[in-house]
């Protein structure tokens, strides 16, 4: 049997005698700095570390940088009285052992950890180089990736549907880069954020003097996307009269700027997205059937976060890595449990919102469940006053709607069926401004 290289950080004389000769090849690092150098030079499936007092922040940062290895801690039993070290063990380590070491338990633990490390590496699919935005390893996400890869050599229109906050624009970007690469333009248009009076000019552009204030020629979003992708987000919010104009462009692949009668041919791949039930909108007369068939040539659906719960930890860790800056931060075990049991009505957008806020507001190196404001409503109902329950529900509704409509306070107020003045009062009350 070939030896497996195992990295031991800090000295441990008794360990070598406990490991079966021929199965393990122990390589030692006498300090965390030396361990960092070795981990950069070689990929170790397992790392054992004798945890010494005062090292937790540096050790935490080292583990975060080399999370592909499974880490096993060796610690003096009385050190477990430290809450900081307990949090470190819970958040970052696959297993831990206390001195004096139990040979049978250690051997079993290392064998199990090695098998787990090999299983993870063997079955973790390699993400194709083209796919850079869609993260996760759950079955719905793997299926979505497969669908995107099958579309990389075609330029058919695509309709992306799914709940708000699930990453429909990220899917559109994956489709764009897998088809066109880095050089071609990707132009996104939020159809729900442009007034009816401006939609024609925004999409098709205008010539000088076309209307009051048109002091020079302006190219529209469609012309800007020539040779690339036009992403029409919230297509279900487009007024019916503007849907007719868009349909004409899709049929003819040509545009006329406002104030001009000279058509211009464009070569644009169209991807549209919506979180509404498009078929129901067609049946109700709110969406043109002919436009629906033009856009719905290929249909992709982004899953809600609750449908891909096994991705929550991966996504949370990736978001935290983006936003923590130079700080050493990770989630406690209880915070991870809270994330896993929460329903995430705002989906990935809400997860990002909560992690970003927690990374700024938490006062230690470990993010707790309360830092993410993941309130246990069942506990409140049992132990809290009616006023506390109402305020918690009010705050939760605000957070979820803000996550769903970031930087769109008018839309937040409309969705909550309150006035904008009331919204500002509630935001101030809950310290969310």
Residues 288 and 310 in one domain: no
pLDDT of residue 378: 47
Residues 349 and 370 in one domain: yes
Which range is most confident: 74-78, 209-213, 216-220, 289-293? 289-293
* Tally of CB atoms within 10 A around 39: 20
pLDDT of residue 381: 45
Domain boundary pick from 123, 151, 177: 123
Residues 12 and 40 in one domain: yes
246 within some domain: yes
* Position with higher pLDDT, 208 vs 281: 281
Q: How many domains does the chain have?
A: 4
Domain boundary pick from 244, 269, 301: 301
pLDDT of residue 17: 60
Per-residue pLDDT tens digits for 21-38: 556 777 888 888 888 888
Residues 216 and 327 in one domain: no
Residues 81 and 206 in one domain: no
Residues 143 and 262 in one domain: yes
Which CATH number characterizes residue 329's domain?
1.10.8.60
Q: How confident is the model at residue 212 (pLDDT cuts 50, 70, 90)?
A: low
Residues 19 and 87 in one domain: yes
Mean pLDDT throughout 366-378? Answer: 78
Burial of 24 (0-12, 13-18, 19+ CB in 10 A): buried
128 within some domain: no
Domain boundary pick from 352, 374, 396: 374
Mean pLDDT of the chain: 82
Cα–Cα distances (Å) from 293 to 52, 171, 282, 284, 287, in that order, read 65, 20, 10, 16, 11
134 within some domain: no
8 within some domain: yes
Supply the pTM of this predicted model: 0.62
Residues 282 and 156 in one domain: yes
Residue with tokens 């040979």: 103
Identify any residues that bridge with 4 across adjacent strands, giving them in sequence order: 24
Residues 153 and 241 in one domain: yes
What strand order describes the sheet that includes 269-274? 186-190, 229-233, 269-274, 158-161, 298-301
- Tell whether the model's pLDDT for residue 277 goes beyond 50: yes
The percent of residues above 70 in pLDDT, for the chain, comes to 86
Per-residue pLDDT tens digits for 299-354: 999 999 989 988 999 999 889 988 887 777 888 888 888 898 888 888 999 999 99
For residue 11, give its domain range.
Answer: 4-123
Residues 267 and 167 in one domain: yes
Residues 151 and 293 in one domain: yes
Per-residue pLDDT tens digits for 386-428: 676 677 778 778 877 877 776 678 888 888 888 888 888 888 7
Residues 193 and 243 in one domain: yes
pLDDT of residue 125: 44
**Residue 28 and residue 7: Cα distance in Å, rounded?**
6
Residue with tokens 């709607």: 401
């Amino acid at each position: 049997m070939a030896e497996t290289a195992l990295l031991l950080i800090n000295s441990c004389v008794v360990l070598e005698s406990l490991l079966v000769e021929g199965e393990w090849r122990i390589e030692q690092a006498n300090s965390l700095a030396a361990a960092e150098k070795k981990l950069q030079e070689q990929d170790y499936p397992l790392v054992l570390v004798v945890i010494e007092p005062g090292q937790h922040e540096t050790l935490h940062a080292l583990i975060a940088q080399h999370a592909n290895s499974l880490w096993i801690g060796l610690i003096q039993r009385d050190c477990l009285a430290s809450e900081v070290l307990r949090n470190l063990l819970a958040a970052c380590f696959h297993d831990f052992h206390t001195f004096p070491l139990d040979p049978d338990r250690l051997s079993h633990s290392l064998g199990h950890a090695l098998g787990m490390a090999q299983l993870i590496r063997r079955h973790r699919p390699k993400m194709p180089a083209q796919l850079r935005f869609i993260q996760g390893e759950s079955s719905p996400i793997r299926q979505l990736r497969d669908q995107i890869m099958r579309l990389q050599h075609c330029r058919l229109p695509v309709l992306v549907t799914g709940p708000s906050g699930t990453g429909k624009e990220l899917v559109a970007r994956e489709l764009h880069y897998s088809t066109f690469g880095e050089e071609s333009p990707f132009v996104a248009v939020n159809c729900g954020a442009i007034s009816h009076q401006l939609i024609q000019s925004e999409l098709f552009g205008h010539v000088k003097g076309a209307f009051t204030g048109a002091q020079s020629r302006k190219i529209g979003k469609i012309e800007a996307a020539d040779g690339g992708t036009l992403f029409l987000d919230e297509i279900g919010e487009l007024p019916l009269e503007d849907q007719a104009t868009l349909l004409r462009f899709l049929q003819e692949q040509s545009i006329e700027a406002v104030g001009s009668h000279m058509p211009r041919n464009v070569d644009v791949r169209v991807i549209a997205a919506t979180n509404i039930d498009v078929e129901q909108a067609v049946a109700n007369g709110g969406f043109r059937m002919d436009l629906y068939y033009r856009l719905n040539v290929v249909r992709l659906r982004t899953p809600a976060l609750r449908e891909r719960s096994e991705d929550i930890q991966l996504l949370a860790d990736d978001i935290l890595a983006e936003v923590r800056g130079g700080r050493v931060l990770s989630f406690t075990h209880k915070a991870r449990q809270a994330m896993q049991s929460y329903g995430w009505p705002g989906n990935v957008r809400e997860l990002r919102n909560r992690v970003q806020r927690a990374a700024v507001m938490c006062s230690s190196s470990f993010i707790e469940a309360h830092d993410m404001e993941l309130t246990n409503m069942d506990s409140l109902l049992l132990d809290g006053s009616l006023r506390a329950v109402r305020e918690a529900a009010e705050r939760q509704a605000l957070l979820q709607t803000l996550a769903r409509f970031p930087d769109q306070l008018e839309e937040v107020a409309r969705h909550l069926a309150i006035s904008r003045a009331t919204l500002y009062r509630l935001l101030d009350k809950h310290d969310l401004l």
